[in-house]
Amino acid sequence: MARIALVTGGMGGIGTAICQKLADSGHTVVTTYSRPGKEVAWLADQKEQGYLFHAYQCDVADFESCQAMAAKVVAEVGPVDVLVNNAGITKDTTFRKMSKVDWDVVLRTDLDSVFNISKPFVDGMADRGFGRVINVSSINGQKGQFGQTNYSAAKAGMHGFTKALAQEVARKGVTVNTVSPGYIATEMVMAVKEEIRQSIIAGIPVNRLGKPEEIADLIAFLASDHAGFITGSNIAINGGQHMF
Return phi, psi of residue 196, to 5°. -70, -45
219-234 in b/e burial notation, b at 16+ Cβ within 10 A? bbebbbeebeeebbbb
CA distances from 178 to 68, 104, 139 (A): 25, 22, 11
Instruction: Inform me whether the pLDDT recorded for 182 exceeds 70.
Output: yes
Confidence band of 188 (pLDDT split at 50, 70, 90): confident
Give CA–CA dist 27/185, Å, rounded: 25
Q: Where do the domains of the chain lie?
A: 4-230
pTM value surpassing 0.85:
yes
CB 228 within 8 A of CB 194: no
pLDDT tens-place string over residues 58-86: 999 999 999 999 999 999 999 999 999 99
Task: Domain 4-230: give its CATH code.
Answer: 3.40.50.720
Across 221-233, average pLDDT: 98
Of the candidates 114, 106, 112, 57, the one whose C-alpha atom is nearest the C-alpha of residue 84 is 114
How much is the pLDDT for 1? 63
pLDDT tens-place string over residues 23-57: 999 999 999 999 888 899 999 999 999 999 999 99
Q: How many CB atoms lie within 10 A of CB 215?
A: 25
* The one catalytic residue among 51, 56, 151, 183: 151
Answer left, alpha or beta for residue 133, where phi above 0 means left and psi between -120 and 50 means alpha: beta
- Strands in 131-136's sheet, in edge-to-edge order, are 54-57, 28-33, 4-7, 82-85, 131-136, 174-181, 234-237
Give CA–CA dist 219/212, Å, rounded: 11
- The verdict on whether 51 is a catalytic residue reads no
